[in-house]
Structures are given as C-alpha cells and as structure tokens.
Structure 1
C-alpha cells in the first residue's frame, strides 16, 4: 500500500509539473477550427498525388489530395478519406510560409481513423526545405498512426544523419488510442525534443553532437496535418471496406517562452 501511495504521489507531481511547464509558456498561436472555412492567412492546401516532383508523396501513397475532403463542423476539422471507384482521396494542409515556429510546446487534440491502410499524421518540416531539400531540412513526426498496427503510436524524427530513415523513432502501445480524443505533443528547445501522448513522455531526442546533419532543429518549422492511404508505411495493403474514414482535430496549440 505504501508503494502504491508513493507511486500515485509521484505521478501527481509529474502531471502537475508538466502542466506547469506547458502553461509556463505563453500561448502564441492556436487553431480551434471555429470559423466556417480554414483561414488562408494560416493554412495552405497541398493538392494532387505529388507528381511530377514526388509522385506518391515520396512514399508510394495512393491518395490524391483535394480541398473537398475536409469540413469545419462544431469546432472541429474533419478530414475524410474516401474510395470512389479506383480513386482514393483525402486532404493535406500546411502552415508553410504563414505560421512557422522555432521551439515550444506544440500540441494537437485529435480522434484517429482506423483500419488497414489508413495513415493520419501531425508533423513538421524545416522552413529551409525549399533551399536545402529533405532530409537536410529535418522532419518532426509528432503523431503517426497506421491502421495495420492497432493501439500503437509512432513518434519520429528524420535527419540527414539518418539519410531520412526512421532510426530516431519510438512506437508506443496505447490500448485505447482509437477511442475518443487524445493529445499528441512535443516540448522542443535548443537541447532536446520530448514527445508526449496524453501528456505522457514517450520519447526524447537529445544528441550531444548537434551538427547540421544530426540536429537541423535550430530553425523555424511549419505544421502539416494529413491523412494518407497505403504507401510504404501505411500499406501496402488497403482494406477498401473501411471507407470513408474520418480524422477529427479539435485544436492545435503552440506555447513558447
């Protein structure tokens, strides 16, 4: 009983500390999706299948992105993946060139879609990607979920040092992650990036040797939200009986000192 009490106290202290840490920063940007349409001063649509530059969006993904596969309803962004004939469709949005952030506590609250072949994500790319290219720009995958692996959440980083491969990564089991809404976040500063699921730390990246190839995370990054279908990670098999599937986002918030 004594050990249980100590464990509860420690957990309570940690939760309080994390809450204070997040709230100790200032809320500098938030998207609550309460308008009738996405604010084009904050958001861009990325459309099509990635061709001719990166067909399949670099991952052999099957979907074509459109502006029609989303809606704002009851303070939510709802992205709907569909299968219509031989065509898979979805939506992908970014804040590139409009809302970019260097460091902070960056959080999404979302309800995940499910099923074989589905691949929702909340992630960030370095703002220098147009000059440096990927993976020199760096990539922060705050949330990735693939329907072929139920109850698992992926949190990952891509760098030139890893040649873009997912070696700086962790997948964590959450038995009820498909039920209801959950939060996915990073706490990012000049020394490390800590990933959180429901305010529980799941992975920390803090390399000692912060060369450009190892640590491209000392520059502004922009936000991406999308739901892919199939591809190298989400597929290759896709269960066509699961469609339509909805990825629902309640909010995105950025806190900084």
Structure 2
C-alpha cells in the first residue's frame, strides 16, 4: 500500500481526535474590562527596536482603543488629527500551550488599509528571536482584498513573504461573525473557517528550520493599519472601524 496514503490516513485519525478534549483556556469577554490575569496590552509603534512593528505599519497601539462590553472584545482602528490608533493584546508570559485546537469567533472590519489578525508566536521569542521562535497566523484579513482569508506559517526556513501560506476566497467573510479554527498537532497545523478547510501544513521533514512548532506558543489579537502587507492606501473615511471578538477557546 502507498506510504503517502497510509500517512494521510494516520494524519486524518490524529486530527479527528483533536478538539474533543478539555478546555485549557477560554475567554468569552463577559467581564466589564479586559482580564489582565491572562492578557497584556501591547503599546506604542514598536520603536526604537521594531519601528512600525517590522511591517511599516501606521498605527500607535493604545489601551483606549480596546474595550470589553456586552460580551465582546472590541479593537478599534481610529484616526485623530494625522495619527492612526488601534489596539493589540497578547498572552505572553501568562498563557502559553503546546498543541491543541484554537477557536476564535470574530467579525472582521472593512476598509482599505485595515489588517485584523489572530495569531501565535513561540514563547521563546525573547531568547531566540523571530523567525526562530515560529509564527502561526490563523486569521489575517486585508481590507484591500475583500472576500479573501490568509493563513500562514513563518519559520526560519520561510518567513516574511513565506511560501507556507494560503489565500482563500470565502464569499461574505466580511459579513457577520465566523469561527476561525486551527488544529495544531505534532504532525500538522490545519486551518478552518466555519469548518471549511483552508490550508494544511505538514512537512515530512520536521527540523528546527522547517518546524519550530514543538514548544509552547502564546496568543495575539490585533488590528493593524497600513504597512507592507496591510497596504499603504488607507481609507480614512472607513474609520473608526472595529475588529470584534466574541470568544477565544483552546482545547487539548
């Protein structure tokens, strides 16, 4: 029997068993403010060490652009005078995990230059840097590219304009809430939206350059404005606009 077929069957069985385990982290944003037991605010523009957050982004991150109300997390992109503002939160040094199923129910904003994202970074980033730490982009949406989702992996072998990526047409993805799910095992990382398969990353060779995904990662939610990927053409008339998250849940 074909070895590749056997490997595919085994991978399917392993993946199918995920998402049925216990919840190791969940935030339904039902409190009156962000729970800083789990979340950190990332502030500023990345300077002096990583100006523009490494992507020539235009926004200044501040607490005021993050609100928790009516059971939702609101991350707002705005412009005051000539300055763009937005929000970014992480679970660095507070919540990290190795392998599991991550679900984010969210509504993406509209408008050229807006770039909402739900993603993960290796918890050892302070020690080894990027891209050695690894990055998992489970949701990226570009206002300049309506109806398309981006799911990507950044590794020492392929980063920046990574080849480990998929741009998928999903009609109406900018309308209402959708469930973005990523299943991460020791064999593969698989991305879904509303249970529609988007992309599977499962290299046969899993060394540190190709597969830095055998260690804990932490979560990031943010709404960037502009930049090399978000697009330099920013539609100011669309602002203010919000990236709204209903819940985030991790099971193992």
Give the TM-score range, shorter chain.
over 0.9
Give the counterpart of 2:138 among 130, 137, 142.
Answer: 142
Secondary structure (helix, strand or coil) at the match of 2:237 reads helix
Cα distance in 1, alignment partners of residues 170 and 201 from structure 2: 21
| Structure 1: gaps spanning 5 or more residues | 1-16
> In the TM superposition, what is the alpha-carbon distance from 1:36 to its structure 2 partner?
1.1
Give the structure-1-normalised TM-score.
Answer: 0.91
Q: How many residues align?
A: 240
> In the TM superposition, what is the alpha-carbon distance from 1:25 to its structure 2 partner?
1.5
Cα distance in 1, alignment partners of residues 119 and 82 from structure 2: 28
When structure 1 is superposed on structure 2, of 221-230 and 232-241 the one drifting more is: 232-241
Secondary structure (helix, strand or coil) at the match of 2:207 reads coil
> Contact between 2:19 and 2:101, CA under 8 Å: does it hold in 1?
no
Cα distance in 1, alignment partners of residues 20 and 76 from structure 2: 35
> In the TM superposition, what is the alpha-carbon distance from 1:104 to its structure 2 partner?
0.4
Cα distance in 1, alignment partners of residues 18 and 134 from structure 2: 24
Is 1:54 paired with 2:50?
yes
Give the counterpart of 1:169 among 165, 168, 171.
Answer: 165
Residue 204 of structure 1 is matched in structure 2 by: 200
> In the TM superposition, what is the alpha-carbon distance from 1:20 to its structure 2 partner?
7.2
Give the structure-2-normalised TM-score.
Answer: 0.92
Cα distance in 1, alignment partners of residues 16 and 49 from structure 2: 44
Cα distance in 1, alignment partners of residues 45 and 156 from structure 2: 25
> In the TM superposition, what is the alpha-carbon distance from 1:24 to its structure 2 partner?
1.8
Secondary structure (helix, strand or coil) at the match of 1:195 reads strand
Secondary structure (helix, strand or coil) at the match of 1:24 reads coil
Residue 188 of structure 1 is matched in structure 2 by: 184
| C-alpha RMSD of matched pairs (Å) | 1.5
Give the counterpart of 1:235 among 218, 221, 231.
Answer: 231
> In the TM superposition, what is the alpha-carbon distance from 1:178 to its structure 2 partner?
0.9
Residue 251 of structure 2 is matched in structure 1 by: 255
Deviations 1:105-152 (A, max 9, x none): 001000110110000000000001001000000000000000000000
Deviations 1:157-191 (A, max 9, x none): 00000144321000111111011100111101101
